[in-house]
Structure 1
Amino acid sequence: MEPCRVLVIEDHALVREALVRALEQLDRTCEHAQAGCAADAMALIESGHEFDLILTDLMLPDMSGFSLLSILAHRFPAVPVVVVSALADEASVKRALKAGAAGFISKTLSSGELVAAIRAVLRGQMVTPDFDAPAPVMQRVVRRRGIDSLSEQYGLTAAQTRVMELMVEGRTNREIADLLGLAEGTIKVHCSAILRALGVPNRAQALVVLARQGLRA
C-alpha cells in the first residue's frame, strides 16, 4: 500500500503535533506536511506537493477556515478536506460541509477517538459529530459496511456516496439536503446519478440492490 500524503493546517504547534502523532498510530504509512496558516498551506499545494487528504482547523490566523474550504474545493476538488476544530456546533459543521468539507472531527475527542476518526476518513468514510448523542460529542461514521467497494464498483463520486449512505438510512431528499448543507435540487441530481449507476428506475429498487450487497440501515 502506497503511503498516504496528508497536509495538516493548524496554527497551534501542540495541536499540530497531536494530529501528527495520530497519523503515526494509523495502520498505514502516512507522509505528512505541516502549515501554520492558510498562506503557507496554499504555497505548499501550489508548489507541486500532492496530497491525498488535508486536515484543517477553522480558526486560522490569516484567513477564515470556511473561506479556505471554499478555495480548496474550487481549485483542488479531488483532494478531500476534513475539518478538525473545537467549533463543533451544528451550525459550524453544516457550514463547513456546505463550503466543501468532506468531514468534520471535533477537537474534544480523546487521542484514541481521534485516531479512529482519521482512520475512518482515510478509508473514505464521512465522519461528523453526532448531535443526537450525549456529551461529550461522539463521532458518527455514516458509511455502512462495504461502502468503499460499492462506491468504487459503481463509480460513484464522494458526494454521491454520501447521499447514497443517507438514502440507506431512510432519509428524504429534504433531510439529506439539510444534513449536508446542500440545495434539495442538488440532492435530486445526485440521486438520479445513483439510480443510473445502479441500473434501477427508482429509490426503492436501489435500496433492494444495496441491501443485497450488505448496505442496510
Structure 2
Amino acid sequence: MTSADLPGDALAILIIDDHRMFADAMMNLFRQCWPAASVRCVNSANEGLQQLQQQAWQLLLMDLGLPDMDGLALLEQVRKQHSSLPLLVCTGETRPVVLKRVLQAGASGLITKNQSAEEVLQAIDAVLAGIRYLAPEAEQALSIPEPHQADVLSERQLAILRLMQAGHSTPEIARQLFLSPNTVKTHIRLMFEKLGVNNRVECLTVAHERGYIHV
C-alpha cells in the first residue's frame, strides 16, 4: 500500500519534532498533497505517545533529537506498542553505529532534513508499501565498514574533534569544554591512535572519511 492507495481522508500522519520550521514545512507539504488528510505535529515525545494512544495513525514521522526523551528510547517504545505502524525517522546523524541502532530499533526508514519534498514523498510511499527507505546519505554511511569498538571515538572526543574542525586551539577547546589543556591533549593523542594518524590534518581527514564529522 502507498499513499495513492489511501483515500485522502483516511491518511493520518503524526509528526513528532521540536524544530518548528521543519515541522511546519512538512505539515504544509502533506496538506498540499492530501488536503483531506489528518496531519498533526507535536513537539515532544510525551505528546507524541499521547497522540498515538488517542488516535489511529497511518504514518509517524519523528525526529531523534527531542527535548524530553532520547529518540532511540521513543522509537523502541513506539515499536512495542505499535509494531506495524510505518515509521520514518528524520536525522542528521550519519555514524553507522547510530544508524544501525535506529534500524534495529524498528524504524521503517531514514530521511534527512535537507532532502527535497519529492524525496520525502518517495520515502513515505516506500514505507507505506512496507519497503525500507534510506536517505542517500544514510545509505552511504551504512556502506562504510564499522570500526572495531576499540576504535570508536567517545562523545568527549567527538566534541573535541568538532572544535578542532572549527579551527580551535587546544587551550580554546579546553576552555569551551571546561577541561584542562592536558586532558584535551590526552584525548587528542588517543584519537590519533584510534584513527591511525600523526597530526590534526590527518585526523580531520580520516575522521571525515569515517563519518565522524562533515564538511
CA distance in 1, matches of 2:139, 2:50: 39
CA distance in 2, matches of 1:39, 1:132: 27
**Aligned residue in 1 for 2:50:** 43
What's the TM-score, normalizing by structure 1? Answer: 0.55
Unaligned regions of 5+ residues in structure 1, if any?
138-174, 179-217
**Aligned residue in 1 for 2:103:** 97
State the aligned residue count: 136
3-state secondary structure, aligned to 1:7: strand
Q: Which has the higher helix share?
A: 2
Cα deviations by residue, 1:95-130 (Å, 9 ceiling, x for unpaired): 111111111111121233223322333333311134
The residue correspondences of 1:65-80 to structure 2 (distance < 5 A) are 65-80=71-86
**Aligned residue in 1 for 2:61:** 55
**Aligned residue in 1 for 2:17:** 10
The residue correspondences of 1:135-146 to structure 2 (distance < 5 A) are none
Bigger Cα displacement from structure 2, 10-19 vs 82-91: 82-91
**Aligned residue in 2 for 1:114:** 120
Distance 1:26 1:125, change over 3 A: farther
Bigger Cα displacement from structure 2, 62-71 vs 106-115: 106-115
**Aligned residue in 1 for 2:38:** 31
Bigger Cα displacement from structure 2, 52-61 vs 28-37: 28-37
The aligned amino acid for 1:123 is A
CA distance in 2, matches of 1:18, 1:119: 18
Q: Which has the higher strand share?
A: 1
Kindly state the Cα deviation for residue 13 of structure 1 after the two structures are TM-superposed. 0.9
Kindly state the Cα deviation for residue 92 of structure 1 after the two structures are TM-superposed. 2.5
Kindly state the Cα deviation for residue 75 of structure 1 after the two structures are TM-superposed. 1.4
Cα deviations by residue, 1:71-108 (Å, 9 ceiling, x for unpaired): 01111112122101222443322111111111111112
**Aligned residue in 2 for 1:208:** none
The aligned amino acid for 1:12 is H
CA distance in 2, matches of 1:43, 1:27: 24
CA distance in 1, matches of 2:12, 2:80: 20
Cα deviations by residue, 1:117-151 (Å, 9 ceiling, x for unpaired): 223333333111345977xx9xxxxxxxxxxxxxx
Cα deviations by residue, 1:40-68 (Å, 9 ceiling, x for unpaired): 1111122x211111100000000011000
**Aligned residue in 2 for 1:129:** 135
Q: Would the aligned equivalents of 1:105 and 1:117 in 2 still touch at CA under 8 Å? A: yes
Distance 1:67 1:54, change over 3 A: same
What's the TM-score, normalizing by structure 2? Answer: 0.56
Q: Would the aligned equivalents of 1:82 and 1:103 in 2 still touch at CA under 8 Å? A: yes
Kindly state the Cα deviation for residue 29 of structure 1 after the two structures are TM-superposed. 4.9
CA distance in 1, matches of 2:23, 2:123: 16
